[in-house]
Amino acid sequence: MRISIASVIFVILFACTLSCGGGSEQEIADSPATEITADTATTEESVVTAEAEQLQEIIETAPVTGNAEGVWSTTMGHMYLEVDDSGNVTGEYPLGTIEGTMTGNILEFTYCEGSLSGEGTFSFSEDFNSFTGVQDISGTEVIWDGMRP
């Protein structure tokens, strides 16, 4: 069974929202008032700190998937890639999105950055912990490198 890092992060954030009072405004309005004391604030802070530490541990110990899926620290900012069973890749980064196809450790993709679009290629290392690549911007190849955070 494959579970993506994004799924794990979503579940943790969802649980945090529920435990941190993510109820509707009506539920909050109908609930009895709770007096907040220094002890209550310390307990809530401890829960948030524990959840943050748990999330960090998941990120640090998440197994490398043996493919390009996951979070990347790149020369274009942090990027998240998803890979389906057919090798189709979708991703997001601060400037835009990419879509492409994996063949072995090579990703050939198209990118869209607002009104700017084009093509590119990433060549991933054998262990899928880094890549080097280029994107074509109006006939100029721009280096786009990345590594797992």
The predicted structure's pLDDT at residue 10: 43
3-state secondary structure of 2: coil
pLDDT for 46: 67
Q: What is the DSSP string of 73-106?
A: EETTEEEEEEE-TTSEEEEEETTEEEEEEEETTE
Q: Which two tokens stand for residue 49?
A: 């700190």
pLDDT at position 66 is 75
- Digit-by-digit pLDDT tens for the chain (149 residues) are 344 444 444 444 444 444 444 444 444 445 455 455 555 555 556 666 776 676 555 555 544 457 899 999 999 999 999 999 999 999 999 999 999 999 999 999 999 999 999 999 999 999 999 999 999 999 999 999 999 99
Q: What is the pLDDT of residue 146?
A: 98
Residue 6 confidence (pLDDT): 46
Enter the pTM of the model: 0.57
Instruction: Enumerate residues 6+ apart whose C-beta is below 8 A from 92.
Output: 79, 80, 98
Q: Using CB atoms within 10 A of its CB, is residue 87 exposed (0-12), middle (13-18) or buried (19+)?
A: middle
